[in-house]
Amino acid sequence: MLNTDRILVLAPHTDDGELGCGGSLAKYIALGKQVQYVAFSTCSKSLPAGLAPDTLEHECRRATGVLGVQDVTLLDYEVRSFPAYRQEILEELVRMNRQFAPQTVFFPARQDVHQDHQVIFAEALRAFRQCNLLGYELPWNNTRFQPTYFEKLDEQHLSGKEAALQEYASQSHRNYMKNGFVRSLAVVRGMQAGTQLAEAFELYRLTS
């Protein structure tokens, strides 16, 4: 378990943070740790036809609320356009580092193929040089994932993650939102970690 009091979660898009480290967030929040969640896009252009443009904003706030996150920031970068805004995103990250002073940062893993996720990964490495840095897995995007840190979870942590993801009704058609996927992955990672349930991460820096 990480020795940390302030945790920053970088989600390129709403739901990435819950999918990648929702169980760990539930665990650390239950222990009284401070968590700040930042989503860089509410993906209004990726919503199914007929839904309001702010659908994912509301779903994200409900989902993070289920986990107990009280500090949520939703930015408005256009989905699939992050490479055009690298400098602006870096400046956002530097500002977060200065204002929140996180000790641990969760963000997409190195081999994530999504262009938006790649930008968040690369700029986070530049912005946060004195923090624990952990890359979370999104298997549908990861061409390769080599976990070097496992966060052991209790049933209540995984159940909280599952309940949070259920708030994303607009995304229920996606395979990774189907019943059983998140739990199955947690069981596999738990087996690798010598426990029942776990989330896996690539550890890029450990400072505490």
**What does pTM read for this prediction?**
0.97
Amino acid (one-letter) located at 44: S
- The CATH class for the domain spanning 6-205 reads alpha beta
Q: Is residue 64 within 8 Å of residue 47, measured between CB atoms?
A: no
Can you give the pLDDT of all 208 residues of the chain as single tens digits?
999 999 999 999 999 999 999 999 999 999 999 999 999 999 988 888 889 999 999 999 999 999 999 999 999 999 999 999 999 999 999 999 999 999 999 999 999 999 999 999 999 999 999 999 999 999 999 989 999 999 999 999 999 999 999 999 999 999 999 879 999 999 999 999 999 999 999 999 999 8
Beta-carbon count within 10 A of 167 CB: 20
Half-sphere exposure of 171 (CA within 13 A, CB side): 26
Tokens 């976990």 map to which residue?
A: 147
Max CA pair span of the chain? 47
Tokens 């738990």 map to which residue?
A: 190
Q: Is residue 160 within 8 Å of residue 169, measured between CB atoms?
A: no
At residue 208, the pLDDT reads 80
pLDDT one-digit tens code per residue, 29-84 = 999 999 999 999 999 888 888 899 999 999 999 999 999 999 999 999 999 999 99
The domain spans of the chain are: 6-205
Beta-carbon count within 10 A of 152 CB: 18
